[in-house]
Amino acid sequence: MLVFEFKAYGNKSQFAAVFEAIRTAQFVRNSCLRYWMDNPKVNKYDVNKYCAVLAREFPFADELNSMARQASAERAWSAISRYYENCKKAVPGKKGYPQFQKNCRSVEYKSTGWKLQGDRKSIKFTDKKGIGKLKLKGTRDLHFYQINQIKRVRLVKRADGVYVQFCIDVNRQENVEPSGSTVGLDVGLKAYYTNSQGVSVENPRFLRQGEKVLKRCQRRVSRKTKGSKNRGKARQILGKRHLKISRQRKDHAVKLARCVVQSNDLIAYEDLRIKNMAKNHCLAKSINDASWYQFRIWLEYFGKVFERVTVAVNPQYTSQECSNCGAIVKKALSTRTHVCRCGFAIDRNENAARNILSRGLGTVGHTGTFALDASNALGELTSTFAGEILSEQVGS
């Protein structure tokens, strides 16, 4: 599934209709959630049927396309089913009981309620909300895909405007010659990651770089009177600053992950629990700014696209264990050089990366020099998704 995003252009009345459609989608989702709370034995189909009841009772809900209402009900059931799965798996801590949505930012249409124009540069929404025709501007070309391949259309509200997303049913695969090399990655705060060959990538620290501007914008918001138009304008400027930082992180993670996957046949990395690590209040901001989880998600995605093997390994003792003799050398976080009794001295992160690679090769059943045929990359060996292989997590 590919997701193409375009900036939408229209007049004020059209955008007001878009915001009304988003609020209606939020109302349908929350109503379906309340219906489940009052009737715990209902199933997915009962929740979908409840959309028709809402349309009969509330005229503004009837104005929204019927499939858009069903998509909102599916969002509610997704939260419910995730809660059931967490209870069944006995996930430690909170199980994620479904919560009412307070600030929805998108509405999703399925196969009806919209019509793409012939030039593929504008889209018309045909429900009773009155959105009408919106112009699209983006770098993607929709002429390469058939209309029946577009399974969903989303209207997304962001700080800098409204965007239209197209979910296209396409299997993306690219054929690349095997490189014959493997790599282990140890992520960190000083360097974004250090691989098993000793190569380090600098941590960009986008939040730290833009923190001065963010604080100034936040002060301007605090000075404005609550509910005033000036406060709304200041909040919009602050939102744009945060949006820029999030886009910088994503762009950095995508480009770096693509480069790593294209250059190696196997990529081993730590199966880190970022949520647990961020509980350290001294390092929480730096850990979240590094966006390691986003980097991992894109590694796994490009691993599928380029038919590479991505393996998440247990990070326990990867920094303490000697990659030369296997002895455990305990050290504090401030000690950046690994020195073993066997006489082996190496950078702490590179030592951890070598251990991660060794565990990754052991996980997929290979030792020594690793050679992987690209045709088998997604056959015998598959990517390990986030949170799937480890029940416990210890920071390295």
Of 168, 193, 217, which residue is a domain's last?
168
Residue 115: domain span = 2-168
Q: Which of 153-157, 275-279, 307-311, 366-370 has the highest mean pLDDT?
A: 153-157
Residues 353 and 304 both lie in one domain = yes
Residues 258 and 306 both lie in one domain = yes
The pLDDT score that the predictor gives to residue 16 is 94
Residues 152 and 202 both lie in one domain = no
DSSP H stretches of helix in 190-228: 206-223
Rounded to 5 degrees, φ, ψ at 64 are -75, 145
Of 120, 143, 168, which residue is a domain's last?
168
Asked if pLDDT for residue 357 goes beyond 70, the answer is yes
Residues 78 and 144 both lie in one domain = yes
- The two beta strands, 182-187 and 337-339, are unpaired
Q: How many domains does the chain have?
A: 2
Residues 120 and 191 both lie in one domain = no
Asked whether residue 24 is assigned to any structural domain, the reply reads yes
Domain of 329, CATH number, reads 3.30.420
Confidence of residue 346 (pLDDT cuts 50, 70, 90): confident
Residues 53 and 111 both lie in one domain = yes
Residues 136 and 186 both lie in one domain = no
Asked whether residue 212 is assigned to any structural domain, the reply reads no
- State the maximum Cα–Cα separation within the chain, in Å, rounded to a whole number: 78
- The two beta strands, 266-270 and 309-313, are parallel
Residues 144 and 191 both lie in one domain = no
- From 116-125, 219-228, 276-285, 333-342, the region with the lowest mean pLDDT: 333-342
* pTM of the model as a whole: 0.82
Q: Which of 5-19, 179-193, 303-317 has the highest mean pLDDT?
A: 5-19
Residues 163 and 187 both lie in one domain = no
Asked whether residue 145 is assigned to any structural domain, the reply reads yes
Asked whether residue 381 is assigned to any structural domain, the reply reads no
Contact yes or no for 248/254 (Cβ under 8 A): no
Asked whether residue 61 is assigned to any structural domain, the reply reads yes
Residues 145 and 80 both lie in one domain = yes
The pLDDT score that the predictor gives to residue 233 is 94
Asked whether residue 73 is assigned to any structural domain, the reply reads yes
Sign of CA dihedral 387, 392, 395, 396: negative
Confidence of residue 46 (pLDDT cuts 50, 70, 90): very high
Residues 157 and 72 both lie in one domain = yes
Asked whether residue 187 is assigned to any structural domain, the reply reads yes
DSSP 328: B
Confidence of residue 365 (pLDDT cuts 50, 70, 90): low
Asked if pLDDT for residue 394 goes beyond 80, the answer is no
Task: Kindly state the percentage of the chain with pLDDT values over 90.
Answer: 55
% helix / strand / coil in the chain, to the nearest 5?
45, 20, 40
Asked if pLDDT for residue 379 goes beyond 70, the answer is no
Return the number of other C-beta atoms located less than 10 Å from residue 216's C-beta.
12
Residues 113 and 202 both lie in one domain = no
Asked whether residue 390 is assigned to any structural domain, the reply reads no
Please give the sequence-ordered ranges of beta strands (E in DSSP) within the chain, or none if there are none. Answer: 2-9, 106-109, 114-116, 122-125, 132-137, 150-158, 161-168, 182-187, 191-195, 200-202, 266-270, 309-313, 337-339, 345-347
- The two beta strands, 182-187 and 266-270, are parallel
The pLDDT score that the predictor gives to residue 371 is 37
The mean pLDDT value for 276-290 works out to: 88
Q: Encode pLDDT of 82-126 as tens digits.
A: 999 999 988 888 888 999 999 999 999 998 999 998 888 999 999
Q: Encode pLDDT of 138-148 as tens digits.
A: 888 888 888 88
